[in-house]
């Protein structure tokens, strides 16, 4: 046996020889062997308990080195907001991950575990990480290269904490903004979502030429395994209710919700997460026809399929009414790894019993384990299972914050700018006597970041390191300009002050998943009162911080300018960059902005399409200032409607074309 480079794999191999006295050559520990050879060799050595352990993912709060060893656990995750310590440093994260990993490596076969985290807009659970705009804002950029670069930066910041796997990207096609996860969707148009799947190439690396379709690819230690989610139709649930039923025909499924998965698989995505939702009454976690029949067999996906958090529990109604049945239905549907996440002993016992009774076939278990091991081998976990601090300096790195600032600039959508092209209000002058900044979201980093930011549903105030919009404004204007901040000024305050102009920053509360389901879509109180009070006295620009369009039409006449800033993340300077004219507005609406919630659901291509601002709408500023390209010209409402008509024609063409590769 020759080990030219001392590695943990070699050490494990030597220990195995010593403990057994058997000099048999173990192919699975040899990185020179083909991946399929290594998989076959390792599976042939595994007991049923070791195989079921690989199919088990547990939450870090119940994990330990002993648990990893005793139950052969294959994966650990951090749930939203689950951290080893408040404001934990990269060293604390790395030490925690390695503790679990050492437990996994101490098992008989030394199979490394894979640690996963929801890094959905940067490494967002981690203090001091760069938080990029949420997906809806990135959809507004229409810039796949930007999103790819964000994937590269996110991979480095995730690796900074010793983690090799992220549950991202969400490639849902949100068809109703009342859905609490709509900000996790790039667009209501699947074509925009398909473009944005380039983030997978940033996270995992560019796939080699002639790479086999469907086989995962992770380029190296500076990359992470990605996860396309949530398969499939999660963005189309009835009335936008989270985890609800998506009612659609074959054209709707294959023409709207499925296309981003085609692109993700072609780009080598390592894993796919199943949706909580149902499709025409069938829970996706129990949908064999789509998980096994379509995703695995027809699309030839060869990575592993993972459940959502407590996902199999929700197969029954109410959840967890018959856990044994849920385990049976989920695994037989084609789920390979189950995000348990807490009661792993019951899960392991149930799978074991179901296999011994023949209710779950060993061939199904072997398929699951084969897929999990394929991802682990491809990403090099067997050769480099332990994390180190070599990427620690990547967390919150200036270059990444500059990239996030660029993303914020490109995500802003200008919806109103004066009453005519000749009466533009933006860009704002940097030199002014006195300006007012008002609103609940102007000086609140937590609101600016939204959900999935440090905590699962986000938070208020200085939750992490970043720049608020108020701070950005103050650093942008001239030294001689007096900036006054009042979160919710009253009429007396406004009458007693003479402001050159005002900037009102208001928006939604923070939320995630079901907590964000909202049939009213109003901005957080007292946001509308702030708009009325300020904009009735001073000329004002209103900036909306939200994860989706919100009710704004009644207040539109009061304001001089309106900007959709979505959920920009930690780098608020990007907002000021554009408000004050250092850069132009280039963002386009990733989704239709309704007049009234009574119109919902309403998407581009619908027969009765009567929006306040159509999909693709976005004004630019007619300016000769530096920073504006020659292409920056005012695009009026008619231009937006032309886009809608073209989209309608394309939609009809795609509907006919979607007949290719239909399910039986």
Please give the Cα distance from 186 to 121 (Å, whole number).
12
CATH 3.20.20.300 placement within the chain: 42-379
DSSP 235-272: GGBGGG-TT-EE---HHHIIIIISHHHHHHHHTT--EE
Mean pLDDT of the 546-558 span? 97
Residue-level pLDDT at 420: 76
3-state secondary structure of 470: helix
Q: How confident is the model at residue 421 (pLDDT cuts 50, 70, 90)?
A: confident
Mean pLDDT of the 360-386 span? 98
CATH, domain 42-379, list 3.30.390.30, 3.20.20.300, 3.20.20.70, 1.10.3720.10:
3.20.20.300
Has residue 518 got a pLDDT over 80?
yes
Has residue 12 got a pLDDT over 70?
no
Q: How many CA atoms lie within 13 A of 238 on its CB side?
A: 9
Mean pLDDT of the 482-495 span? 98
Residue-level pLDDT at 626: 36
Are 347 and 327 within 8 A, CB to CB? yes
CATH 3.40.50.1700 placement within the chain: 412-599
Q: 362-378 vs 35-45: helix axis angle to the nearest 10?
A: 130
Has residue 519 got a pLDDT over 50?
yes
Report the catalytic residues. Answer: 308, 513
Give per-residue pLDDT as tens, 452-469: 999 999 999 999 999 999
CATH topology (fold) of 412-599: Rossmann fold (3.40.50)
Has residue 7 got a pLDDT over 70?
no
Has residue 5 got a pLDDT over 90?
no
62-66, 211-215, 561-565, 653-657: least confidently modelled range: 653-657
Residue-level pLDDT at 647: 44
Give per-residue pLDDT as tens, 154-175: 999 999 999 999 999 999 999 9
Has residue 13 got a pLDDT over 50?
no
Please give the Cα distance from 292 to 107 (Å, whole number).
31
- Output the average pLDDT for the chain: 92
Query: Among residues of the chain, what percentage have pLDDT more than 90?
Result: 89
Please give the Cα distance from 149 to 165 (Å, whole number).
17
Give per-residue pLDDT as tens, 200-246: 999 999 999 999 999 999 999 999 999 999 999 999 999 999 999 99
Other Cβ atoms closer than 10 A to 393: 11
Pair type for strands 278-279 and 282-283: antiparallel
CA angle 416, 553, 179 (to 5 degrees): 105
Residue-level pLDDT at 25: 86
């Amino acid at each position: 046996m020759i080990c030219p480079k001392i590695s943990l794999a070699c050490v494990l191999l030597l220990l195995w020889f010593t403990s057994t006295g058997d000099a048999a050559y173990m192919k699975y520990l040899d990185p020179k062997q083909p991946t399929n050879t290594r998989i076959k060799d390792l599976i042939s050595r595994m007991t049923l308990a070791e195989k079921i352990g690989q199919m088990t993912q547990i939450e870090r709060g119940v994990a330990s080195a002993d648990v990893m060893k005793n139950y052969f656990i294959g994966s650990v995750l951090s749930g939203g907001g689950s951290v080893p310590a408040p404001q934990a440093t990269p060293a604390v994260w790395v030490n925690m991950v390695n503790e679990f990993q050492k437990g996994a490596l101490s098992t008989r076969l030394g199979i490394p575990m894979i640690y996963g985290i929801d890094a959905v807009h940067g490494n967002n659970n981690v203090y001091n990480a760069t938080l990029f705009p949420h997906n809806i804002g990135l959809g507004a950029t229409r810039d796949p290269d930007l999103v790819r670069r964000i994937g590269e930066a996110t991979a480095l910041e995730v690796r900074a904490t010793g983690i090799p796997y992220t549950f991202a990207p969400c490639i849902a096609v949100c068809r109703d903004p009342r859905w609490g996860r709509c900000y996790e969707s790039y667009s209501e148009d699947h074509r925009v979502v398909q473009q944005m799947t380039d983030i997978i190439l940033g996270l995992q690396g560019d796939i080699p030429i002639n790479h086999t379709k469907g086989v995962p690819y992770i380029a190296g230690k500076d990359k992470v395994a990605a996860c396309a989610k949530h398969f499939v139709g999660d963005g189309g649930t009835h009335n936008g209710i989270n985890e609800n039923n998506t009612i659609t025909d074959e054209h709707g499924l294959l023409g709207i919700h499925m296309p981003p998965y085609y692109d993700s698989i072609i780009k080598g995505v390592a894993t796919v997460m199943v949706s909580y939702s149902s499709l025409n009454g069938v829970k996706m976690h129990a949908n064999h026809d789509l998980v096994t029949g379509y995703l695995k067999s027809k699309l030839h996906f060869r990575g592993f399929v993972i459940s959502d958090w407590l996902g199999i529990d929700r197969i029954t109604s109410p959840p967890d009414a018959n856990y044994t049945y849920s385990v049976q239905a989920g695994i037989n549907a084609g789920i390979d790894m189950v995000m348990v996440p807490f009661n792993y002993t019951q899960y392991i016992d149930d799978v074991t019993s179901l296999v011994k009774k023949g209710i779950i076939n060993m061939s199904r278990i072997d398929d699951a384990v084969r897929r999990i091991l394929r991802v682990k081998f491809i990403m090099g976990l067997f050769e480099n299972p332990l994390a180190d601090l070599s990427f620690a300096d990547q967390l919150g790195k200036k270059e990444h914050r500059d990239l996030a600032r660029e993303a914020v600039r490109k995500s802003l959508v200008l919806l109103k700018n004066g009453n005519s092209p000749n009466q533009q209000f933006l860009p704002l002058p940097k030199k002014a006597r006195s300006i007012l900044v008002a609103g609940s979201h102007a000086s609140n980093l937590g609101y600016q970041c939204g959900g999935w930011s440090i905590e699962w549903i986000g938070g208020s105030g200085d939750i992490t390191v970043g720049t608020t919009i108020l701070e950005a404004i103050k650093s942008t204007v001239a030294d001689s300009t007096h900036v006054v901040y009042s979160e919710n000024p009253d009429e007396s305050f406004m009458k007693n002050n003479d402001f050159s102009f005002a900037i009102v920053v208001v928006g939604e509360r923070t939320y995630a998943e079901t907590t964000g389901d909202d049939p009213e879509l109003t901005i957080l109180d007292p946001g509308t009162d702030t708009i009325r009070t300020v904009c009735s006295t001073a000329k004002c620009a209103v900036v909306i911080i939200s994860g989706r369009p919100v009710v704004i039409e009644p207040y539109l006449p009061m304001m001089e300018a309106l900007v959709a800033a979505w959920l920009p993340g930690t780098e608020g300077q990007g907002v000021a960059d554009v408000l004050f004219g250092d850069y132009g507005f280039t963002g386009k609406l990733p989704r239709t902005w309704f007049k009234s919630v009574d119109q919902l659901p309403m998407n581009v291509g619908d027969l009765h399409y009567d929006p306040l601002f159509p999909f693709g709408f976005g004004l630019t500023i007619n300016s000769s200032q530096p920073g504006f390209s020659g292409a920056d010209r005012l695009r009026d409402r008619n231009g937006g409607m032309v886009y809608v008509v073209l989209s309608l024609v394309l939609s009809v063409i795609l509907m006919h074309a979607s007949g290719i590769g239909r399910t039986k």
